[in-house]
């Protein structure tokens, strides 16, 4: 078991250092944290996340000790159980689940429309476990392992190829031309008073240009206004200009802006506002899943060693749940930044009636690292899972539209000022995954617990 623990931990740390290394850069650049301390923080986060695959490795090793090498076939179950828990324990951090590795392999990725990203994780883990069994066995047992893996890949791939080729969802519903405004505002300029006018006029001008090019629904990124919308103490003139722009262009506009609720206790929300072509606020979505150490600070009084970062951000309050955004006769939804990596949030929106998924974000924090690309691909998985078009507006990129099969309709590069104009569709049908949710993950947890209990009682 000690060897399994060491191997699981090594694998986990390698996996996460390679995928979340950029968190250290964020601490250095925007938190004024010393590079050594920032590197330590990144390594500690990677070590924490590595606990989950380590647990999976230990569980499988104990089963192998009992029943032999065939217990490797239990690896997909243990992996999915722990991966799902990683996305929920202590608020969850479901960054780059194993199944997301297939998001660009479209025939295989269609499996997510049935069992979600955790179902894809199970498939990838099963194929790898089968290869491992084949390498460790001989004769008939090896043949069965290889045939099983090949059959799974061929079956899923063939069905996925047919599903993408059929493409019926791209012919259903009502089309709408979306305009995604990528202002490319440098992170260090976003809240400078001297830059506010330039930032705001950039979005106004780009919106007018997008409408001239055919946009029927304009989306700005997260926190795009250099003021808090509908806060009379901040910029009432800005509110007026946004509403006048909506009336002038005659299109609905969705944009990210901080929302301040002043009462006995002032509350701050990371929000997205939907303004109608008549210039009125039709809906406000408040971010539900806040970013730890970015929008709120767990155990704040005990983390004084990162005081520069803590003091830089005001704590946000969390919203209550999905909000439907009326776009003409249809309903859309949005997720703000990090929220799009949580499958259950998009599913809740679809079950509430969303016909179009959108997400607004500011990935300027991540620089030229792999994070913006990872973030875009995790958002793309939500489109496949739910059979919905997904439109994404990002301050510095990547902005784009993804169709219900995960195909890129249009997208921008990073760190370019551009308006992406592309067609999406309002859809109402639901995928199997939208209806059953993460049953694969729940089943994996039950089976893992049952296996551990069985081993315990058998020992007694």
Would you call 318 exposed, middle or buried from its count of C-beta atoms within 10 A (0-12, 13-18, 19+)?
middle
pLDDT of residue 57: 94
Dist. CA 252–CA 280, nearest whole Å = 10
Task: Report d(CA 247, CA 276) in Å as an integer.
Answer: 8
Residues 266 and 394 in one domain: yes
pLDDT of residue 298: 58
User: Which sign does the torsion angle of CA 392, 398, 399, 400 carry?
Assistant: negative
CA distance 211 to 251: 8
Coil, strand or helix at 256: strand
Say whether both 151 and 241 belong to one domain: no
Residues 162 and 59 in one domain: yes
153: domain range? 2-168+437-459
pLDDT of res. 193: 83
Residue 312: CA count within 13 A, CB half-sphere: 17
Examine the domain organization and report whether 202 and 318 are in the same domain: yes
- If you write DSSP's letter for every residue of 359-422 in order, what string do you get? EEE--GGGTTSSHHHHHHHHHHHHHHHHT--EEEEESSS--EEE-TTS-EEEE--SS--EEEEE
Cβ atoms within 10 Å, residue 353: 13
The pLDDT score that the predictor gives to residue 111 is: 98
What pLDDT is stored for residue 306 in this prediction?
53
Together in a domain, 89 and 163: yes
Q: List active site positions.
A: 222, 287, 337
pLDDT averaged per 10 residues in sequence order, the chain, 460 residues: 89 94 83 83 93 95 90 95 94 93 97 98 97 93 95 97 97 97 89 87 96 97 91 81 95 94 82 96 92 61 53 71 94 95 96 97 90 96 98 96 98 96 97 97 95 71
Query: Looking at the structure, do residues 153 and 243 belong to the same domain, yes or no?
Result: no
Q: What are the angstrom distances between the C-alpha of 297 and each of 292, 305, 307?
A: 6, 13, 11
- Do 419 and 179 touch, CB atoms closer than 8 A? yes
pLDDT at 174: 97
Whether residues 217 and 265 share a domain: the answer is yes
Q: Are residues 37 and 125 in the same domain?
A: yes
Say if residue 198 is in the same domain as residue 101: no
Helix, strand or coil, per DSSP, at residue 291: coil
Whether residue 110 contacts residue 405, with contact meaning beta carbons closer than 8 Å, is answered with yes
- What is the pLDDT, as a whole number, of residue 293? 61
Main-chain dihedrals φ then ψ at residue 108, nearest 5 degrees: -75, -40
Residue 291 C-beta-side C-alpha neighbours within 13 Å: 19
Same domain, 364 and 450: no
Measured CA to CA in angstroms, residue 86 lies from 48, 91, 118, 380, 444 at distances of 10, 9, 12, 20, 14
Give me the pLDDT at residue 301, please. 52
Do 77 and 157 belong together in one domain? yes
Pair 358, 298 in one domain: yes
Domain count, the chain: 2
Domain CATH for 226: 3.60.110.10
Closest CA to 175 of 432, 421, 434, 435: 421
The pair of three-digit structure tokens given for residue 446, joined into one six-digit string? 């039950």
User: Based on C-alpha coordinates, what's the Rg of the chain?
Assistant: 23
């Amino acid at each position: 078991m000690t060897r399994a623990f060491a191997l699981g931990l090594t694998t986990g740390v390698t996996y996460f250092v390679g995928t979340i290394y950029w968190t250290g850069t964020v601490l250095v650049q925007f938190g004024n944290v010393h590079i050594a301390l920032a590197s330590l923080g990144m390594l500690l986060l990677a070590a924490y996340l590595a606990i989950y695959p380590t647990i999976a490795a230990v569980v499988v090793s104990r089963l192998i000790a009992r029943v032999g090498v065939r217990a490797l076939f239990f690896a997909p179950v243990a992996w999915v159980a722990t991966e799902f828990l990683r996305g929920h324990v202590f608020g969850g951090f479901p960054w780059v689940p194993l199944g997301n590795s297939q998001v660009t392999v479209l025939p295989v990725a269609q499996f997510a429309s049935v069992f979600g990203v955790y179902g894809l994780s199970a498939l990838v883990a099963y194929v790898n476990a089968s290869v491992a069994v084949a390498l460790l066995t001989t004769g008939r047992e090896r043949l069965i392992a290889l045939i099983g893996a090949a059959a799974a890949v061929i079956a899923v791939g063939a069905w996925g190829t047919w599903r993408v080729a059929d493409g019926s969802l791209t012919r259903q519903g009502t089309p709408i031309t979306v305009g995604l405004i990528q202002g490319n505002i440098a992170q260090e300029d976003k809240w400078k008073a001297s830059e506010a006018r330039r930032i705001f006029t950039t979005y106004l001008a780009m919106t007018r240009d997008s409408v001239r090019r055919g946009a029927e629904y304009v989306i700005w990124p997260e926190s795009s206004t250099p003021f808090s919308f509908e806060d009379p103490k901040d910029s009432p003139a800005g509110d007026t200009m946004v509403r006048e722009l909506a009336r002038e262009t005659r299109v609905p506009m969705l944009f990210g802006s901080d929302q301040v609720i002043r009462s006995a206790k002032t509350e701050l929300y990371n929000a997205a506002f939907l303004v109608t072509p008549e210039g009125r606020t039709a809906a406000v979505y408040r971010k539900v899943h806040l970013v730890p150490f970015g929008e709120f600070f767990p155990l704040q009084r005990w983390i004084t060693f990162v005081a520069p970062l803590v003091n830089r951000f005001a704590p946000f309050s969390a919203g209550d749940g999905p909000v439907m955004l009326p776009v003409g006769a249809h309903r859309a939804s949005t997720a703000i930044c990090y929220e799009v990596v949580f499958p259950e949030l998009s599913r809740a929106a679809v079950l509430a009636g969303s016909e179009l998924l959108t997400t607004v974000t500011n990935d300027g924090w991540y620089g030229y690292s792999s994070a913006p690309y990872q973030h875009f691909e995790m958002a793309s998985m939500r489109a496949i899972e739910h059979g919905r078009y997904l439109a994404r507006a990002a301050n510095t990129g990547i902005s784009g539209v993804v169709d219900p099969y995960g195909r890129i309709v249009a997208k921008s590069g990073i760190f370019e000022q551009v308006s992406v104009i592309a067609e999406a569709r309002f859809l109402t049908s639901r995928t199997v995954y939208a209806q059953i949710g993460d049953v694969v993950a729940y089943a994996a947890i039950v089976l893992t617990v049952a296996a551990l209990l069985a081993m315990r009682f058998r020992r007694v």
